[in-house]
Amino acid sequence: MKECQFIQTGEIDSVSKWISENLLSPENLPYSFLYGGKRITRQEPNWLFEQSSSKLDENHTQYQTVLSEPETGLSVRCVAVQNHKYPVVEWTLWLENTGSADTPLLSDVRAVDAV
């Protein structure tokens, strides 16, 4: 598990840095899950990682990442919204089997994997 650092009010730049180093980094995902018995905490070899962002309004930016395993069709989409007025980011995970067969067993999903 990763250490969760609390950010003081007014440290909006720290939230932006955290987003860059965690939500947008395939090497340091803020979520995890067991897939076929293996804990997934980062982009695995042969998996794909895509990211995009869009400004929703003057106070909010939306980030989207997609971690996918082409062989089985597992797709893990993370949609996050950063509030630029307050040091806040929230996200939701969406897991989908885009393949034509069952994926390996998926369990112990941790939308936030931190201590």
- Tokens 């996200």 belong to residue: 91
pLDDT above 90 (res 36): yes
| CA distance linking residue 82 with residue 88, whole number of Å | 6
DSSP summary character for residue 111: S
Q: For tokens 């293996």, what's the residue?
A: 38
Cβ atoms of residues 36 and 104 within 8 Å: yes
In this prediction the pTM is 0.86
pLDDT tens-digit profile of 55-114?
A: 999 999 999 999 999 999 999 999 999 999 988 899 999 999 999 999 999 999 999 997
Candidates 19, 28, 36, 15; CA nearest to 80 is 19
Summarize pLDDT for 11-21 with one digit per residue, the tens: 778 888 889 99
Cβ pair 19, 89 in contact under 8 A: yes
